[in-house]
Amino acid sequence: MMRLNSVTGSPPKTQNIAPNSLPGKIQKRVWIKASSEVVFRALTDSKELVHWFCDRASSNPCEGGELAACWKSGKANQKGRAIFTRVVPNTFLELLWIDDGQGSGSGKSNHILKYEIRSKSGMTEVLMFDIDDPVSDEEAYSILDQGWNSVLLELKSYCERRQRAAKTHPHQTPNPETT
């Protein structure tokens, strides 16, 4: 039997999750009107990453290869480094962030980023999993969660522009600097 609040007659509010037990996993799905090849290239090619993810990048998208990214944050630069731990072209990516730009460059990172890429009905479904140690509070988790919404919308927009450009000029590979 559910207990009701004696003052309002309504069910009691659920308790907030204890700060040390907030999940360390964010899962997102985005549908992109572009081929899996276009999406995979956007996720791995340094020239394409700078159009939707970061300000500068270098990328060697093979197992054991490294991704280095730099973001401008006000007057400061923030840098991150990840190792590609699993790469299946046009299908799957897994990266272990050894320095996610938050001061966790100790080499003992648990921060894993996975992308599952699936072609379906002329579109590409991207499932993103950001797995890390649990965050300290609900506000931090909410910021990360909303941040991923924004990042994946940037990926979607970029890939769809690239796909349209490829259809407009089928004999030319679109130049990332002009799209």
- Tens digits of per-residue pLDDT, 138-165? 888 888 889 999 999 999 999 999 999 9
H helix runs in 16-175, sequence order: 36-44, 46-49, 138-168
* Residue 135 falls inside a structural domain: yes
Instruction: Return d(Cα 102, Cα 126) in angstroms, integer.
Output: 25
Residue 52's Cβ-count burial label (10 Å; 0-12, 13-18, 19+) is buried
Range(s) of the domain holding residue 95: 19-44+87-169
Check residue 113 and give its pLDDT: 95
CATH of the domain at 125: 3.30.530.20
Instruction: Give the model's pLDDT for residue 174.
Output: 52
> What is the model's pTM?
0.77
Distance between CA atoms of 84 and 59, rounded to whole angstroms?
A: 9
Which residues in the chain show pLDDT less than 50? Answer: 1-21, 104-105, 178-179
> Is 11 within a domain?
no
The pLDDT of residue 86? 98
Number of domains in the chain: 1
- The number of beta carbons lying within 10 Å of the beta carbon of residue 150 is 9
Question: Does some domain include residue 148?
Answer: yes
> If phi over 0 gives left and psi between -120 and 50 gives alpha, with beta otherwise, what is residue 139?
alpha
Mean pLDDT of the chain: 82
Residue 9 counted as domain residue: no
Amino acid at 98: I
Residue 4 lies in a domain: no
Q: Is residue 145 part of a domain?
A: yes
